[in-house]
Amino acid sequence: MLTVKRVYEAPEPGDGTRFLVERLWPRGVKKETLRMDAWLKDVAPSNALRRWFGHEPAKWKEFRRRYSAELDAKLESLHLFWKRCDRETLPCFTALTI
């Protein structure tokens, strides 16, 4: 099962394996305090896509379409992630808000 949490939310006992899916390190979060198992920078939205989106809710549907296309080109990078998704809960953290 895949769950999505904001990086600023506290860890919970049932979180399972935790991945950070962000290209940039989140502001105000110390690396030594974020409990995570891996940082998947390469599967986060590209810098160009993040800039285009600009956290504008009206662009969310198109953002999802474009990000999905980016992920299609990164299937090899997602292999470990999806393999673990079949076996356990995977919270993915993001600083992205809409």
In tens, the pLDDT along 76-87 reads 777 766 666 655
Q: Which helix (H) or strand (E) holds 95?
A: none
Q: Classify the C-alpha dihedral 90-94-96-98 as positive or negative.
A: positive
pLDDT at position 97 is 40
How many structural domains compose the chain?
1
Helices (H), the chain: 47-53, 60-72, 75-85
- Asked whether residue 92 carries a pLDDT value surpassing 80, the answer given is no
By residue range, what is the domain housing residue 55? 2-94
Residue 39 bridge partners (DSSP) = 20
